[in-house]
């Protein structure tokens, strides 16, 4: 599959997965920015998350894009298994909804990108991210990623401590804007394809 390929079947659904940890204590953690983007997209679609049977995830089914050929069926998902076990729920949803690998999008935090910067890509490594590691182990690496930069921890703070802390007060001033932009990037990826979305959002 080439980097700009999406799927040969325009009617095939997309599975958009926001990665995070369930529970109110994690809600504003840096590691939960995927959930934040998923929640915003849910508001745009106009649905409410519901439990997805045996898949251990919350889902919304809806559509993204203008009426006509660019309109896409999407399944928006938040795994409820905790980050390091994300692969099981995502694989179950992929199989249930018959989603091609090239139509799966993981939205996640990324340490090696400055705060608020976005990078869209297809495939690649997990860079130590436990959610991606679990997904790749379960089904391979050929899914799209919308990578939301959170930057590196300051000083000698451990990575695990950093990602499981809430965004700092200075970061929160721009967080809504950056989450909104990430949601825009997901929509562009689904509607316009990877190459065009990269041209707009890979700042």
How many secondary structure helices (H) and strands (E) does the chain include? 6, 7
Catalytic residue among 31, 108, 129, 144: 31
Which residue do the tokens 């940890």 mark? Answer: 21
The two three-digit tokens of residue 151, written as one number: 């930057």
Helices (H), 57-129: 87-97
Secondary structure letter of residue 124 according to DSSP: -
Buried b (16+ CB within 10 A) or exposed e, 106-142: bbbbbbebebbbbbbebeeebeebbbbbbbbebbeee
- Active-site annotation holds for 129: no
Cα–Cα distances in Å, from 126 out to 82, 87, 112, 122? 17, 13, 11, 12
- The answer to whether the CB of 31 falls within 8 A of the CB of 83 is yes
- The answer to whether the CB of 56 falls within 8 A of the CB of 91 is no
Q: At what angle do helices 194-201 and 169-192 cross, to 10 degrees?
A: 150
Active site residue ranges = 31
């Amino acid at each position: 599959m080439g980097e700009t390929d999406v799927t040969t079947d325009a009617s095939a659904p997309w599975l958009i997965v926001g990665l995070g940890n369930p529970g109110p204590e994690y809600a504003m953690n840096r590691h939960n920015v995927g959930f934040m983007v998923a929640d915003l997209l849910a508001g745009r679609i106009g649905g409410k998350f519901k439990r997805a049977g045996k898949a251990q995830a919350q889902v919304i089914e809806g559509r993204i894009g203008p009426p006509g050929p660019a309109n896409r069926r999407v399944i928006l998902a938040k795994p409820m298994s905790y980050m390091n076990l994300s692969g099981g729920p995502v694989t179950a949803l992929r199989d249930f909804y018959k989603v091609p690998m090239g139509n799966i999008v993981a939205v996640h935090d990324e340490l090696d990108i400055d705060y608020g910067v976005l990078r869209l890509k297809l495939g690649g490594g997990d860079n130590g991210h436990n959610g991606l590691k679990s997904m790749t182990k379960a089904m391979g690496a050929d899914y799209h990623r919308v990578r939301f930069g959170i930057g590196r921890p300051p000083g000698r703070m451990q990575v695990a401590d950093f990602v499981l802390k809430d965004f700092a007060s200075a970061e929160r001033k721009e967080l809504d804007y950056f989450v909104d932009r990430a949601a825009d990037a997901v929509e562009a990826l689904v509607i316009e394809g990877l190459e065009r979305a990269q041209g707009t959002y890979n700042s």
